[in-house]
Amino acid sequence: MKGPEDVLLIVDVQNDFMPGGALAVPRGDEIVPLVNRLAAGFEHVVLTQDWHPRDHISFAANHDGRQPFETIELPYGEQVLWPVHCVQGQPGAALHPRLEAGHARLVIRKGYRRTIDSYSAFVEADRHSPTGLAGYLRELEVKRVWCCGLATDYCVAWSALDARAAGFDVVLIEDACRAIDLNGSLERALQQLQDAGVVRMNAEQALA
């Protein structure tokens, strides 16, 4: 059992990211049993939940003539436009019904501001609005952040990179993640993670 210096960060294990959901990550549902095994091995678990208002700026439907997966320029930089997903309080935004992490202490809801997206659990997409997670973890003297969930190349990678930037040791539990892989995004993300010093493991190694 991992103790108080370690936290398992379970990113966006939500209905809309599952096959059949509004923004399905291929084979996203396959990770749930493994995430459950990991959660059972950590005393301290934090969840994230993508949590958008219906008029959110990241939805293609809110931009005339735009299609999902196109990119636009926003004041804070490039933004991928997504199908409408994880609308606050809707069934698609709910955690996967078979996720077993009842002992999770904190749920970080992200992307709740209309004008800013947030892939990362730590810093919103404008790259300076904090979610408060780094301060929470520091106050509890957490040293290592173990990341799993969806999707490897967006919300998991950005969270892992920001955890490193905030000074934590970071492990990506690769087989407990699945990627969207849009235009080479997975390869780019893995390279960035390596450059930042994020360690890659499988769940077996993480639980050893």
The interface region with Zn ion, picked from 7-15, 45-53, 70-78, 170-178 by CB under 5 A, is 45-53
Strands 77-80 and 71-74: antiparallel
**Residues 6+ away with beta carbon under 8 Å from 53:** 87, 88, 112, 114
Catalytic residues: 12, 110, 155
Strands 71-74 and 45-50: unpaired
Quote the least distance from Cβ 21 to Zn ion, whole Å.
12
Quote the least distance from Cβ 117 to Zn ion, whole Å.
6
50 forms part of the interface with Zn ion (CB under 5 A): yes
Quote the least distance from Cβ 165 to Zn ion, whole Å.
21
Provide the token pair at 179. 């990627």
DSSP 91-116: GGGSBPTT---TT--EEEEES-STT-
49 exposure class (CB count in 10 Å sphere: 0-12, 13-18, 19+): buried
Provide the token pair at 49. 């939940």
153 forms part of the interface with Zn ion (CB under 5 A): no
12 forms part of the interface with Zn ion (CB under 5 A): no
The interface region with Zn ion, picked from 43-51, 69-77, 124-132, 179-187 by CB under 5 A, is 43-51
If the CB atoms of residues 57 and 145 are measured against Zn ion, the closer one turns out to be: 57
If the CB atoms of residues 44 and 56 are measured against Zn ion, the closer one turns out to be: 56
Closest-CB residue for Zn ion?
50
Q: How many CA atoms lie within 13 A of 177 on its CB side?
A: 30
Return the residues of window 66-125 that contact Zn ion according to CB under 5 A.
Answer: 111
110 close to 48: Cβ distance less than 8 angstroms: yes
Q: Count residues binding Zn ion (CB under 5 A).
A: 2
d(CA 107, CA 10): 9
Quote the least distance from Cβ 172 to Zn ion, whole Å.
20
Quote the least distance from Cβ 204 to Zn ion, whole Å.
30
If the CB atoms of residues 38 and 120 are measured against Zn ion, the closer one turns out to be: 120
What are the residues binding Zn ion (CB under 5 A)? 50, 111
